[in-house]
Amino acid sequence: MLVDLFKNNVYTVQVHVFCDASDVGYGAVGYLRVTTASQRSCHFLMGKSRVAPKKVATVPRMELVAAVLAVKLTRHLVKELKYSVSSAFIWTDSMIVLYYLKNTSSRFTTFVANRVRYILENSGEYYWKHVQSELILADIASRGARTLQARGMNL
């Protein structure tokens, strides 16, 4: 149980948020990683998902919107946790999003530029990381699953 972990000597408290998108929808999932003197554990905190808009959007644009959602979720979790968070990580399987965030020389379309600006202004202290598509924990949020399917998944 999470409360019992904090009775021990805590070394680090980290927030890890995973984001993903598809043509069906997009989402972000947040986890808490706690390291104590005797153990490490991860706990599901919160997830957010949205259905893709009716207007046709490309998957890279949807991945960018998922990254914005991940920043908002990360900020919310760090603010609302009662524990001092030592670091926060946002994980994405989209190399395009990571390229957008590192690129300082190109001019983007208004849609992309506004989202990149929001992400950079609001995630300065967070670490952006790449994860393989097969390992992304927000996959169920972006692709959807029926209740019976979700029961058997290892989340």
Q: What is the pLDDT of residue 57?
A: 82
DSSP of the chain: -HHHHTTS-EEEEEEEEEEEE-SSEEEEEEEEEEEESS-EEEEEEEEEEEEPPSS---HHHHHHHHHHHHHHHHHHHHHH-SS---EEEEEES-HHHHHHHH--S----HHHHHHHHHHHHH-TTSEEEE--GGG-TTHHHHH---HHHHHTS--
Amino acid type, 92: T
What is the pTM for the complete model shown? 0.84
Q: CA 134, CA 149: separation in Å to the nearest integer?
A: 17
Contact in structure between 129 and 89 (CB atoms under 8 Å)? yes
pLDDT by residue for the chain (155 residues), tens only, comes to: 454 555 557 678 999 999 999 888 899 999 999 988 888 888 989 999 898 888 878 989 999 999 999 999 999 999 998 888 999 999 999 999 999 999 978 889 999 999 999 999 999 888 999 987 666 655 555 555 555 455 555 55
CATH superfamily placement of domain 2-145: Ribonuclease H-like superfamily/Ribonuclease H (3.30.420.10)
Task: End-to-end CA distance of the chain: give it in Å, rounded.
Answer: 17
How far apart CA 93 and CA 106 sit, in angstroms, is 22
